[in-house]
């Protein structure tokens, strides 16, 4: 028996979904992935931490990242390594996630660089305040080929701990900071994917995306929208979660977004919702701080590192980006940005993430192409 054929530790548990070792997937698609993202941010907009970890079983890669936005500076740590058989070990280089209590409590850790006292470091306990909520099954095709199929749940909670970077130290306290997270798995394009004829002949004219998890003291709201260039909606959800009550569906969300002139950078927004009683509801959004995922965090179209790319064994990279000049980070405008925001709904104030991406033509917004921006 070769090493690749031997059972792995997870095979001891009754969790199998197919007559295979937990080492192997039911698909041979190179784009298979399994990953998470956490957001930790203060209610005054001083700091936004985005951290995540992913495994890519069919390319044999595990990687992780963390970015901290404070003022105009974005501190970033990225690490990548060869995937091992121990899938419960969620650590890469200086970055580690510990599942202390599944679906309830996690610990996030980043070790500082001993050679640089100003490097990003943190120890945070992330605790859920509401049950995890499934998002709709997410699929996307290019031509006839399925290029994205993901299953994802989302959750909101509170955080405690410490974050250090650039000579500053932030005390993360419940009531003053909010945490959101998601877990997703399936297939989605990885760097190096060759689209062939489908990519050449089925170029998207436009893409519009909203992903909005919001934590209020006594309820959790999740809104997700994906639209094509003409406004056709391929993903839609608006759900209110309250402990001990049935989840409340809030219809077909419509967003009015106020953009900074000359950009597609949102400054505020109102999302129009509808309760089961047909009563209109307005979710008000005030952006506090923004973290572009294409800068530092490895999301497309990042030009220095992307998730799932093989960097060799034991690779770690640290850097600080200056975001004061948007022209220095042109790719950010063509990637998704996570905006920490203050929300209002029916007299309540909450905090969460207003994740926004709008590229190319989007008829409902009046954008006519990739160069089109707000007046």
Burial-class residue 29 by CB neighbours within 10 Å (0-12, 13-18, 19+): middle
CA distance 362 to 287: 22
Note the pLDDT of residue 61.
Answer: 98
Note the pLDDT of residue 128.
Answer: 98
Note the pLDDT of residue 2.
Answer: 57
What's the whole-model pTM score?
0.96
Note the pLDDT of residue 145.
Answer: 86
Q: In which residue ranges of the chain is pLDDT below 70?
A: 1-4
**Residue in the block written with tokens 């058989």:** 85
- 319-336 per-position pLDDT tens digit: 999 999 988 999 999 999
Domain ranges of the chain: 30-188+197-365
Burial-class residue 179 by CB neighbours within 10 Å (0-12, 13-18, 19+): buried
Note the pLDDT of residue 214.
Answer: 98
Note the pLDDT of residue 83.
Answer: 97
- 194-226 per-position pLDDT tens digit: 777 877 887 889 999 999 999 999 999 999 999
Note the pLDDT of residue 3.
Answer: 57
Q: Categorise residue 314: left if φ over 0, alpha if ψ from -120 to 50, beta otherwise.
A: left
Token readout for 249 is 């569906």
CATH superfamily of 30-188+197-365: AttH-like domain (2.40.370.10)
Nearest to 50 by CA among 62, 61, 71, 64: 64
Note the pLDDT of residue 198.
Answer: 76
CA distance 146 to 21: 25
Note the pLDDT of residue 202.
Answer: 79
């Amino acid at each position: 028996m070769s090493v690749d054929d031997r059972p792995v530790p997870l095979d001891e548990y009754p969790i199998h979904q197919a007559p295979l070792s937990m080492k192997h997937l039911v698909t041979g698609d190179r784009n298979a992935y399994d990953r998470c993202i956490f957001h930790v941010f203060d209610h005054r907009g001083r700091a936004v931490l985005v951290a995540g970890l992913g495994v890519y079983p069919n390319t044999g890669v595990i990687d992780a990242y963390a970015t901290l936005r404070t003022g105009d500076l974005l501190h970033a740590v990225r690490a990548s390594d060869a995937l091992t058989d121990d899938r419960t070990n969620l650590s890469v280089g200086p970055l580690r996630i510990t599942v202390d209590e599944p679906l309830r409590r996690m610990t996030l850790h980043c070790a500082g660089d001993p050679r640089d006292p100003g490097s990003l470091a943190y120890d945070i306990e992330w605790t859920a305040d509401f049950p995890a909520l499934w998002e709709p099954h997410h699929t996307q095709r290019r031509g006839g080929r399925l290029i994205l199929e993901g299953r994802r749940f989302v959750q909101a909670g509170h955080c405690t701990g410490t974050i250090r970077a650039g000579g500053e130290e932030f005390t993360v306290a419940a009531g003053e900071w909010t945490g959101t997270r998601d877990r997703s798995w399936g297939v989605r394009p990885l760097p190096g994917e060759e689209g062939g004829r489908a990519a050449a002949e089925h170029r998207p004219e436009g893409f519009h995306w909203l992903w909005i998890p919001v934590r209020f003291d006594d309820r959790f709201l999740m809104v997700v929208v994906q639209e094509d260039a003409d406004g056709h909606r391929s993903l839609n959800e608006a759900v209110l979660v309250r402990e001990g009550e049935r989840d409340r569906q809030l219809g077909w969300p419509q967003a009015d977004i106020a953009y900074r002139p000359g950009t597609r950078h949102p400054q505020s927004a109102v999302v129009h919702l509808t309760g089961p009683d047909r009563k209109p509801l307005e979710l008000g959004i005030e952006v506090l701080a923004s973290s572009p995922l294409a800068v530092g965090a490895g999301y497309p179209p990042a030009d220095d590192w992307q998730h799932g790319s093989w960097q060799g064994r034991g690779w770690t990279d640290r850097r600080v980006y200056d975001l004061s000049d948007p022209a220095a980070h042109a790719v950010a405008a063509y990637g998704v940005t996570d905006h920490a925001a203050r929300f209002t709904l029916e007299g309540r104030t909450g905090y969460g993430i207003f994740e926004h991406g709008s590229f190319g033509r989007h008829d409902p917004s009046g954008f006519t192409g990739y160069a089109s921006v707000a007046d």
